[in-house]
Amino acid sequence: MIGLIRKILFRKGIREQLAQQKRNRQVHTIESARTIGLLFDATSENARKESLEFAKALEKQGKKVHKLGFFNAKQMPDISEFDGFSLKETTFTGQPKSDKADQFTREKFDLLLTLNPDELPALAWVALQSQAAFKIGFATENPNDYDLQLETPEGKGVRYFTEQLAVYLGKIVLT
């Protein structure tokens, strides 16, 4: 019952934020983006590893990548590879109250990539608040502010999503 109330309040908060939001949208591909925000679920070691491998591949292409991971647990392990926040740093409805999350949302990225296959509210909220020019994430039933959503089969994970991302962004022709 409490989980349902949280979900309803979270969706209401997202709809209110979407109604107020004004951002400059601009289509970007991996090649055209200079700054990329990478928002990911860092709870599982496998998803964290795949996300960081993708970030390193982007950095090798000369992109400036800002990483923010979310740990869906009360305690966060000591990891210095990226900024992160935990479940302890969220409100009752799942909205982050972390300085690192606030700082991430204030950055104006060319491209925001949200690797959130489990639809964690904290990551969805940070993605919504971001002022990125072009936002991409997993397909979701929840209200969101993504410019492009990619639907992936159940259980395929981050690596499959990033492979599909490369395919679809490779088809975009910028004029």
Full set of structural domains in the chain with CATH: 2-170 (3.40.50)
CB 88 within 8 A of CB 107: no
Burial of 170 (0-12, 13-18, 19+ CB in 10 A): exposed
Q: Residue 136's pLDDT is what?
A: 95
**Predicted model pTM:** 0.89
Torsion angle of the four alpha carbons 26, 140, 120, 126, in this order, in degrees rounded to the nearest 10: 20
Q: If you count DSSP H runs as helices and E runs as strands, how many of each does the chain have, helices first? A: 5, 6
SS3 23: coil
Q: Taking the chain (175 residues) in consecutive chunks of 10 residues, what is each chunk's mean pLDDT?
A: 78 77 86 95 92 95 96 86 92 88 94 92 92 92 84 88 91 80
Task: Enter the tokens of residue 148.
Answer: 């492009």
Q: Which amino acid belongs to residue 50?
A: E
Could you give the CA distance from residue 51 to residue 45 in angstroms, rounded to a whole number?
10
Could you give the CA distance from residue 106 to residue 49 in angstroms, rounded to a whole number?
26
Q: Residue 113's pLDDT is what?
A: 96
Q: Which pairs count as long-range contacts for 136-139, CB under 8 Å and 24+ apart, including other chains?
A: 136/111, 136/112, 136/165, 136/169, 137/113, 138/114
SS3 115: strand
